[in-house]
Amino acid sequence: MSTRAPAVEARQLIKTYPGGVTALNGMDLTVGAGTVFGLLGPNGAGKSTTVKILTTLARPDSGAAKVAGHDVLRHPDRVRRAIGVVAQKSGADPVATGRENLLLQGRLYGMRGAAVQRRADELLDRFDLADAGTRQVKGYSGGMQRRLDVALGLVHRPEVLFLDEPTTGLDPEARTAMWDEIARLAGDEGLTIVLTTHYLEEADRLAERIAIVDRGRIVVEGTPDELKGELRGDAVHMELRTDADRAAVTAALTGLPGVYEVLAEGRRVSVRAEDGAAAVPVLLGALDRAGATVAAATVARPSLDDVYMRYAGRRFSEAEAADAQQTPATVAAGGAR
Ligand code: ADP
Protein backbone atom coordinates (compact mmCIF):
# COMPACT_ATOMS: atom_id res chain seq x y z
CA MET A 1 0.00 0.00 0.00
CA SER A 2 1.20 3.47 -0.87
CA THR A 3 2.46 5.92 1.75
CA ARG A 4 0.55 8.74 0.07
CA ALA A 5 -2.60 10.15 1.69
CA PRO A 6 -5.70 8.09 0.91
CA ALA A 7 -7.37 8.88 -2.44
CA VAL A 8 -10.79 8.62 -0.82
CA GLU A 9 -11.82 8.98 2.80
CA ALA A 10 -15.49 8.91 3.69
CA ARG A 11 -16.84 8.93 7.22
CA GLN A 12 -20.32 8.04 8.34
CA LEU A 13 -22.15 9.10 5.20
CA ILE A 14 -25.90 9.09 5.59
CA LYS A 15 -28.28 9.73 2.73
CA THR A 16 -32.04 9.39 2.73
CA TYR A 17 -33.95 10.05 -0.48
CA PRO A 18 -37.36 11.74 -0.55
CA GLY A 19 -39.90 9.04 0.23
CA GLY A 20 -37.81 7.73 3.07
CA VAL A 21 -35.40 5.33 1.32
CA THR A 22 -32.20 5.22 3.37
CA ALA A 23 -29.60 4.71 0.63
CA LEU A 24 -26.56 5.19 2.89
CA ASN A 25 -26.60 4.30 6.52
CA GLY A 26 -23.19 5.13 7.95
CA MET A 27 -20.86 4.52 5.00
CA ASP A 28 -17.17 4.50 5.97
CA LEU A 29 -14.61 4.13 3.22
CA THR A 30 -10.87 4.53 2.80
CA VAL A 31 -9.24 3.96 -0.58
CA GLY A 32 -5.45 3.91 -0.78
CA ALA A 33 -3.85 6.05 -3.50
CA GLY A 34 -2.78 4.16 -6.60
CA THR A 35 -4.98 1.13 -5.96
CA VAL A 36 -7.96 -0.42 -7.71
CA PHE A 37 -10.75 -0.50 -5.19
CA GLY A 38 -14.02 -2.35 -5.75
CA LEU A 39 -17.32 -1.41 -4.15
CA LEU A 40 -19.20 -4.67 -4.48
CA GLY A 41 -22.84 -5.03 -3.62
CA PRO A 42 -26.21 -6.13 -4.97
CA ASN A 43 -28.49 -3.69 -6.78
CA GLY A 44 -29.87 -1.11 -4.39
CA ALA A 45 -27.02 -1.49 -1.87
CA GLY A 46 -26.00 2.16 -2.13
CA LYS A 47 -22.97 2.02 -4.44
CA SER A 48 -24.13 4.67 -6.93
CA THR A 49 -25.23 6.98 -4.16
CA THR A 50 -21.76 6.71 -2.62
CA VAL A 51 -20.16 7.52 -5.98
CA LYS A 52 -22.54 10.45 -6.51
CA ILE A 53 -21.49 11.95 -3.18
CA LEU A 54 -17.79 11.35 -3.77
CA THR A 55 -18.03 12.91 -7.23
CA THR A 56 -19.96 15.95 -5.86
CA LEU A 57 -23.17 15.14 -7.75
CA ALA A 58 -25.12 14.63 -4.52
CA ARG A 59 -24.84 15.84 -0.94
CA PRO A 60 -25.01 13.55 2.06
CA ASP A 61 -27.49 14.35 4.85
CA SER A 62 -24.55 14.02 7.22
CA GLY A 63 -21.01 12.72 7.29
CA ALA A 64 -17.87 13.91 5.53
CA ALA A 65 -15.72 12.85 2.61
CA LYS A 66 -12.44 13.82 1.01
CA VAL A 67 -11.33 12.85 -2.48
CA ALA A 68 -7.73 13.42 -3.59
CA GLY A 69 -7.33 15.37 -0.36
CA HIS A 70 -10.21 17.80 -1.07
CA ASP A 71 -13.40 18.04 0.94
CA VAL A 72 -16.38 17.18 -1.29
CA LEU A 73 -18.66 19.67 0.43
CA ARG A 74 -16.25 22.57 0.92
CA HIS A 75 -14.25 22.34 -2.30
CA PRO A 76 -16.35 20.48 -4.88
CA ASP A 77 -14.60 22.37 -7.72
CA ARG A 78 -11.19 21.03 -6.63
CA VAL A 79 -12.60 17.53 -6.34
CA ARG A 80 -14.05 17.77 -9.86
CA ARG A 81 -10.69 18.73 -11.33
CA ALA A 82 -8.97 15.82 -9.61
CA ILE A 83 -11.40 13.10 -10.68
CA GLY A 84 -12.68 11.39 -13.79
CA VAL A 85 -16.15 9.89 -13.75
CA VAL A 86 -17.50 7.17 -15.98
CA ALA A 87 -21.18 7.02 -15.13
CA GLN A 88 -23.47 4.10 -15.90
CA LYS A 89 -25.11 6.14 -18.64
CA SER A 90 -22.79 7.34 -21.38
CA GLY A 91 -22.09 11.05 -21.48
CA ALA A 92 -20.85 10.97 -25.08
CA ASP A 93 -22.65 12.93 -27.79
CA PRO A 94 -23.94 10.28 -30.21
CA VAL A 95 -23.94 12.52 -33.28
CA ALA A 96 -20.37 13.73 -32.73
CA THR A 97 -17.36 11.56 -33.59
CA GLY A 98 -15.27 9.86 -30.92
CA ARG A 99 -12.48 12.35 -31.52
CA GLU A 100 -14.84 15.34 -31.33
CA ASN A 101 -16.17 14.05 -28.03
CA LEU A 102 -12.66 13.82 -26.62
CA LEU A 103 -11.73 17.31 -27.86
CA LEU A 104 -14.88 18.81 -26.36
CA GLN A 105 -14.26 17.10 -23.04
CA GLY A 106 -10.64 18.31 -23.00
CA ARG A 107 -11.72 21.86 -23.72
CA LEU A 108 -14.26 21.72 -20.90
CA TYR A 109 -11.28 21.08 -18.65
CA GLY A 110 -9.40 24.06 -20.09
CA MET A 111 -7.09 22.11 -22.40
CA ARG A 112 -6.29 23.96 -25.63
CA GLY A 113 -4.53 23.79 -28.99
CA ALA A 114 -2.11 21.04 -29.88
CA ALA A 115 -2.13 19.62 -26.36
CA VAL A 116 -5.78 18.63 -26.48
CA GLN A 117 -5.43 17.25 -30.04
CA ARG A 118 -2.49 15.12 -28.92
CA ARG A 119 -4.34 13.88 -25.88
CA ALA A 120 -7.38 12.91 -27.97
CA ASP A 121 -5.26 10.93 -30.44
CA GLU A 122 -3.30 9.27 -27.64
CA LEU A 123 -6.52 8.10 -25.99
CA LEU A 124 -8.08 6.92 -29.27
CA ASP A 125 -4.95 4.85 -29.88
CA ARG A 126 -4.84 3.52 -26.41
CA PHE A 127 -8.48 2.44 -26.38
CA ASP A 128 -8.28 0.86 -29.82
CA LEU A 129 -10.54 3.50 -31.33
CA ALA A 130 -8.06 5.11 -33.73
CA ASP A 131 -9.94 3.88 -36.82
CA ALA A 132 -13.35 4.67 -35.34
CA GLY A 133 -12.29 8.13 -34.13
CA THR A 134 -13.71 9.92 -37.16
CA ARG A 135 -17.04 8.08 -37.05
CA GLN A 136 -20.17 9.17 -35.23
CA VAL A 137 -20.50 7.53 -31.81
CA LYS A 138 -24.04 6.34 -32.55
CA GLY A 139 -22.55 3.72 -34.89
CA TYR A 140 -20.23 2.29 -32.21
CA SER A 141 -20.76 -1.12 -30.62
CA GLY A 142 -21.54 -1.26 -26.89
CA GLY A 143 -17.93 -2.15 -26.09
CA MET A 144 -16.56 0.71 -28.21
CA GLN A 145 -18.90 3.20 -26.57
CA ARG A 146 -17.84 2.02 -23.15
CA ARG A 147 -14.15 2.35 -24.06
CA LEU A 148 -14.82 5.88 -25.30
CA ASP A 149 -16.59 6.65 -22.01
CA VAL A 150 -13.49 5.59 -20.09
CA ALA A 151 -11.26 7.61 -22.42
CA LEU A 152 -13.50 10.66 -21.81
CA GLY A 153 -13.03 10.21 -18.07
CA LEU A 154 -9.26 10.26 -18.51
CA VAL A 155 -8.79 13.26 -20.85
CA HIS A 156 -7.63 15.68 -18.13
CA ARG A 157 -5.38 13.09 -16.43
CA PRO A 158 -7.35 12.71 -13.19
CA GLU A 159 -5.84 11.33 -9.98
CA VAL A 160 -8.92 9.27 -9.17
CA LEU A 161 -11.13 7.56 -11.75
CA PHE A 162 -14.64 6.46 -10.76
CA LEU A 163 -16.12 3.67 -12.85
CA ASP A 164 -19.77 3.05 -12.03
CA GLU A 165 -20.74 -0.47 -13.18
CA PRO A 166 -18.26 -0.39 -16.08
CA THR A 167 -19.41 -3.60 -17.76
CA THR A 168 -23.15 -3.66 -17.12
CA GLY A 169 -24.96 -4.26 -20.41
CA LEU A 170 -21.87 -5.52 -22.27
CA ASP A 171 -21.76 -8.93 -23.91
CA PRO A 172 -19.26 -11.41 -22.41
CA GLU A 173 -16.60 -10.68 -25.03
CA ALA A 174 -16.79 -6.91 -24.59
CA ARG A 175 -16.83 -7.42 -20.83
CA THR A 176 -13.58 -9.39 -20.92
CA ALA A 177 -12.01 -6.75 -23.17
CA MET A 178 -13.06 -4.02 -20.72
CA TRP A 179 -11.60 -6.00 -17.81
CA ASP A 180 -8.27 -6.14 -19.64
CA GLU A 181 -8.52 -2.41 -20.27
CA ILE A 182 -9.17 -1.62 -16.61
CA ALA A 183 -6.36 -3.92 -15.50
CA ARG A 184 -4.04 -2.03 -17.85
CA LEU A 185 -5.19 1.33 -16.49
CA ALA A 186 -4.37 0.13 -13.03
CA GLY A 187 -0.72 0.10 -14.04
CA ASP A 188 -0.85 3.82 -14.84
CA GLU A 189 1.38 5.94 -12.71
CA GLY A 190 -0.46 6.76 -9.50
CA LEU A 191 -4.00 6.42 -10.87
CA THR A 192 -6.55 5.32 -8.30
CA ILE A 193 -9.58 3.50 -9.64
CA VAL A 194 -12.79 3.19 -7.66
CA LEU A 195 -15.15 0.82 -9.39
CA THR A 196 -18.63 -0.23 -8.40
CA THR A 197 -19.96 -3.56 -9.48
CA HIS A 198 -22.60 -6.12 -8.77
CA TYR A 199 -20.55 -8.84 -10.49
CA LEU A 200 -18.69 -10.96 -7.97
CA GLU A 201 -16.26 -12.15 -10.64
CA GLU A 202 -15.50 -8.61 -11.77
CA ALA A 203 -14.56 -7.51 -8.27
CA ASP A 204 -12.53 -10.66 -7.72
CA ARG A 205 -10.55 -10.18 -10.93
CA LEU A 206 -9.95 -6.45 -10.93
CA ALA A 207 -9.93 -5.06 -7.44
CA GLU A 208 -6.89 -5.17 -5.15
CA ARG A 209 -9.22 -4.38 -2.29
CA ILE A 210 -12.94 -4.89 -2.05
CA ALA A 211 -15.54 -3.39 0.22
CA ILE A 212 -18.79 -5.31 0.32
CA VAL A 213 -21.72 -2.93 0.54
CA ASP A 214 -25.05 -4.05 1.91
CA ARG A 215 -28.01 -1.88 2.85
CA GLY A 216 -26.08 1.37 2.73
CA ARG A 217 -22.96 0.41 4.62
CA ILE A 218 -19.74 -1.55 4.33
CA VAL A 219 -20.09 -4.97 5.90
CA VAL A 220 -16.52 -6.13 5.31
CA GLU A 221 -13.39 -4.95 3.53
CA GLY A 222 -10.09 -6.49 2.45
CA THR A 223 -8.26 -8.09 -0.46
CA PRO A 224 -10.28 -10.79 -2.25
CA ASP A 225 -7.88 -13.42 -0.91
CA GLU A 226 -8.06 -12.10 2.65
CA LEU A 227 -11.84 -12.13 2.56
CA LYS A 228 -12.03 -15.65 1.15
CA GLY A 229 -9.23 -16.82 3.42
CA GLU A 230 -11.25 -15.87 6.48
CA LEU A 231 -13.69 -18.60 5.62
CA ARG A 232 -12.33 -21.87 6.89
CA GLY A 233 -12.79 -25.08 4.95
CA ASP A 234 -15.12 -25.71 2.03
CA ALA A 235 -18.59 -24.57 1.16
CA VAL A 236 -21.12 -27.37 0.70
CA HIS A 237 -24.27 -26.34 -1.15
CA MET A 238 -27.25 -28.65 -1.23
CA GLU A 239 -30.53 -28.45 -3.08
CA LEU A 240 -33.52 -30.14 -1.45
CA ARG A 241 -36.41 -31.75 -3.34
CA THR A 242 -38.91 -29.60 -1.50
CA ASP A 243 -38.75 -26.46 0.62
CA ALA A 244 -36.99 -27.08 3.89
CA ASP A 245 -38.44 -26.75 7.34
CA ARG A 246 -35.76 -24.24 8.22
CA ALA A 247 -35.73 -24.91 11.95
CA ALA A 248 -35.62 -28.69 11.53
CA VAL A 249 -32.83 -28.55 8.93
CA THR A 250 -30.78 -26.13 10.98
CA ALA A 251 -31.18 -28.24 14.11
CA ALA A 252 -30.25 -31.44 12.20
CA LEU A 253 -26.99 -30.01 10.84
CA THR A 254 -25.80 -27.72 13.61
CA GLY A 255 -23.15 -29.34 15.75
CA LEU A 256 -22.23 -32.15 13.31
CA PRO A 257 -18.48 -32.80 13.58
CA GLY A 258 -16.45 -30.59 11.21
CA VAL A 259 -19.54 -28.60 10.19
CA TYR A 260 -19.61 -25.09 11.49
CA GLU A 261 -22.03 -22.85 9.67
CA VAL A 262 -25.52 -23.60 8.49
CA LEU A 263 -27.74 -21.47 6.29
CA ALA A 264 -31.10 -22.73 5.08
CA GLU A 265 -33.38 -20.86 2.73
CA GLY A 266 -36.17 -22.38 0.69
CA ARG A 267 -34.76 -25.43 -1.03
CA ARG A 268 -31.16 -24.37 -0.60
CA VAL A 269 -29.03 -25.41 2.32
CA SER A 270 -25.39 -24.36 2.70
CA VAL A 271 -22.83 -25.23 5.32
CA ARG A 272 -19.15 -24.68 5.81
CA ALA A 273 -17.19 -27.84 6.50
CA GLU A 274 -13.60 -28.60 7.44
CA ASP A 275 -13.50 -31.25 4.69
CA GLY A 276 -16.39 -30.79 2.27
CA ALA A 277 -16.18 -34.12 0.49
CA ALA A 278 -16.03 -36.07 3.75
CA ALA A 279 -18.95 -34.10 5.17
CA VAL A 280 -21.35 -34.78 2.27
CA PRO A 281 -22.48 -38.30 3.34
CA VAL A 282 -22.80 -37.15 6.95
CA LEU A 283 -24.91 -34.17 5.89
CA LEU A 284 -27.08 -36.29 3.60
CA GLY A 285 -27.71 -38.80 6.39
CA ALA A 286 -28.61 -36.10 8.91
CA LEU A 287 -30.96 -34.40 6.46
CA ASP A 288 -32.58 -37.71 5.59
CA ARG A 289 -33.26 -38.39 9.26
CA ALA A 290 -34.81 -34.90 9.49
CA GLY A 291 -37.16 -35.81 6.62
CA ALA A 292 -35.43 -33.71 3.92
CA THR A 293 -34.29 -35.32 0.66
CA VAL A 294 -31.29 -33.86 -1.13
CA ALA A 295 -31.55 -33.58 -4.94
CA ALA A 296 -28.02 -32.25 -5.53
CA ALA A 297 -24.90 -31.38 -3.56
CA THR A 298 -21.76 -29.47 -4.56
CA VAL A 299 -18.50 -28.83 -2.73
CA ALA A 300 -16.59 -25.62 -3.51
CA ARG A 301 -13.69 -23.56 -2.27
CA PRO A 302 -14.83 -20.31 -0.63
CA SER A 303 -15.95 -17.65 -3.11
CA LEU A 304 -16.83 -14.00 -2.69
CA ASP A 305 -20.46 -15.13 -2.70
CA ASP A 306 -19.72 -17.10 0.46
CA VAL A 307 -18.03 -14.05 1.95
CA TYR A 308 -21.10 -11.97 1.16
CA MET A 309 -23.36 -14.63 2.62
CA ARG A 310 -21.34 -14.73 5.81
CA TYR A 311 -21.45 -10.98 6.38
CA ALA A 312 -24.81 -10.03 4.89
CA GLY A 313 -26.68 -13.14 6.03
CA ARG A 314 -28.13 -13.91 2.58
CA ARG A 315 -26.93 -14.94 -0.83
CA PHE A 316 -25.85 -12.31 -3.29
CA SER A 317 -28.32 -13.45 -5.94
CA GLU A 318 -31.15 -13.32 -3.43
CA ALA A 319 -30.21 -9.80 -2.40
CA GLU A 320 -30.18 -8.92 -6.12
CA ALA A 321 -33.72 -10.18 -6.41
CA ALA A 322 -34.38 -7.39 -3.90
CA ASP A 323 -37.09 -9.06 -1.90
CA ALA A 324 -37.35 -6.63 0.98
CA GLN A 325 -39.50 -9.00 3.01
CA GLN A 326 -36.84 -11.69 3.06
CA THR A 327 -35.70 -12.73 6.52
CA PRO A 328 -33.05 -15.40 6.07
CA ALA A 329 -32.16 -17.74 8.86
CA THR A 330 -28.47 -17.60 9.56
CA VAL A 331 -27.00 -19.80 12.18
CA ALA A 332 -23.34 -19.60 12.96
CA ALA A 333 -22.33 -22.74 14.76
CA GLY A 334 -19.00 -23.86 16.12
CA GLY A 335 -15.91 -21.71 15.65
CA ALA A 336 -17.39 -19.35 13.06
CA ARG A 337 -17.18 -15.65 13.78
P1 ADP B 1 -26.72 0.64 -6.12
O2 ADP B 1 -25.88 1.58 -6.92
O3 ADP B 1 -25.92 -0.19 -5.17
O4 ADP B 1 -27.62 -0.19 -6.98
P5 ADP B 1 -28.16 3.02 -5.29
O6 ADP B 1 -27.20 3.90 -4.59
O7 ADP B 1 -28.51 3.35 -6.71
O8 ADP B 1 -27.67 1.51 -5.16
O9 ADP B 1 -29.53 2.97 -4.48
C10 ADP B 1 -29.64 2.76 -3.08
C11 ADP B 1 -31.09 2.86 -2.67
O12 ADP B 1 -31.56 4.21 -2.87
C13 ADP B 1 -32.03 1.99 -3.48
O14 ADP B 1 -33.04 1.52 -2.61
C15 ADP B 1 -32.59 2.92 -4.51
O16 ADP B 1 -33.88 2.49 -4.92
C17 ADP B 1 -32.66 4.23 -3.75
N18 ADP B 1 -32.48 5.41 -4.65
C19 ADP B 1 -31.43 5.65 -5.44
N20 ADP B 1 -31.56 6.83 -6.08
C21 ADP B 1 -32.75 7.34 -5.69
C22 ADP B 1 -33.49 8.56 -5.99
N23 ADP B 1 -33.01 9.48 -6.82
N24 ADP B 1 -34.67 8.73 -5.37
C25 ADP B 1 -35.18 7.82 -4.50
N26 ADP B 1 -34.53 6.67 -4.17
C27 ADP B 1 -33.35 6.43 -4.76
- Average pLDDT by stretches of 10, the chain with 337 residues: 80 95 96 95 93 97 97 97 93 96 96 96 95 96 94 95 92 90 84 93 93 94 90 90 88 92 89 92 94 93 85 82 42 31
Determine the pLDDT at residue 328.
35
Cα 302 to Cα 214: distance, rounded to the nearest angstrom: 19
Cα 52 to Cα 118: distance, rounded to the nearest angstrom: 30
The phi-psi region of residue 215 (left if phi > 0; otherwise alpha if psi is between -120 and 50; otherwise beta) is left
Q: In ligand 1, which atom is closest to the CA atom of 164?
A: 2
Helices (H) then strands (E): counts for the chain: 12, 15
Determine the pLDDT at residue 32.
94
Q: What is the pTM of this model?
A: 0.82
* Most ligand 1 atoms within 8 A of CB, residue of 15, 48, 53, 213 to mutate: 48
Domains of the chain: 8-227 (3.40.50.300), 230-332 (3.30.70.100)
Determine the pLDDT at residue 327.
33
Determine the pLDDT at residue 336.
32
Determine the pLDDT at residue 334.
32
Cα 257 to Cα 271: distance, rounded to the nearest angstrom: 12
Cα of 45 to ligand 1 centre, how many Å?
8
Q: Which helix (H) or strand (E) holds 11?
A: strand 8-17
Q: In ligand 1, which atom is closest to the CA atom of 42?
A: 3
Cα of 21 to ligand 1 centre, how many Å?
8
